[in-house]
Amino acid sequence: MTDTNSPLLDPIGEARRLTGLAHKEGVMPFLLGGVAIAIRAEGRLPAGLQRTYKDLDFVILRHDTSKWAQILERAGYTSDVEFNRLHGAQRLLHYDMANSKQLDTFIDIFAMCHVLELADRLPTQGETLTPADLLLTKLQIVEVNDKDLIDAIALLLMHPLGQHSEHVVDLTALAGVLRNDWGWYTTISDNLSKVGLRLKTVDLDEDQKATVRDRLDELQNALVSFPKTLKWKLRATVGRRIPWYDLPEEVGES
């Protein structure tokens, strides 16, 4: 018999175990990171886009913080007491000691190189953030690494672009963030170019690459055409002469 208080080694199975436990307690956590992208692919990720996932990342609403922490501890996780004492208003860390894995919880916002306000953007159902917000959280990293580029390619292969839907890369949702913030826009634009370069060498067939390339071109054109706010335009006059991002301390990867 499996010990229901012991974390599973398989990250996808473990993510679903925790989500199920939370739902029984009336808590709605949503996955982000590579595991979320793999779950949304529903087993259809080509071999060239599959990778090993080290950690789990969730976002919850602030009013669920205490209950979520209790769920994790009952589920076999150890709290990082000092980190949570210092940063618990926005972020929690817990550890699966048996499998040497980390679980990162963001509360209301995702704050790394840029800040994504999520409290009013969470899906109405499901296990993960929307494809648009998964893409934003992956490509907001100024010093983007290969796993993030691979995950972005996976998202664009699995999800068409569209509007007003939680099942596509929603251009309206992207515009709501990027048209108002030159820094966000610049980092995403830079990283989409890097996605295009990585696509040339990724192990996909030509039809799959063409699908991603077409969606990438459409996305880059959409970013340029978004009507920009006065705030965006004023920051653009300063440009890259001053930093437009934060460099947060890395406490794990997914």
- pLDDT (tens digit, 9 = 90+) per residue, 119-137? 999 998 899 999 999 999 9
- Sign of the Cα torsion 239, 133, 11, 5 reads positive
Distance between CA 120 and CA 123 in Å, rounded? 9
Tokens standing for residue 220: 């880059």
Among 152, 213, 157, 225, residue whose Cα is nearest residue 185: 225
For β-strands 30-32 and 56-60, DSSP reports them as antiparallel
What span, in angstroms and rounded, lies between the C-alpha atoms of 184 and 37? 21
Domains along the sequence of the chain with CATH: 11-241 (3.30.460.40)
Residues written for the chain: 254
User: Does the pLDDT of residue 74 top 60, yes or no?
Assistant: yes
Least confident of 52-66, 172-186, 240-254: 240-254
pLDDT band at 248; cut points 50, 70, 90? confident
Q: What is the mean pLDDT of residues 234-239?
A: 98
Q: What is the pLDDT of residues 5-56, one digit of tens each?
A: 899 999 999 999 999 999 999 999 999 999 999 999 999 999 999 999 989 9
The Cα–Cα gap between 50 and 100 comes to: 21
What H or E segment, with its residue span, contains residue 171? helix 171-178
- The pTM of the full predicted model, rounded to 2 decimals, is 0.94
CA distance 73 to 67: 10
Q: Which DSSP letter does residue 76 get?
A: T
> Residues 124-177: pLDDT tens digits?
889 999 999 999 999 999 999 999 999 999 999 999 999 998 899 999 999 999
Sheet containing strand 56-60, strands side by side: 30-32, 56-60, 101-107, 91-96, 78-79
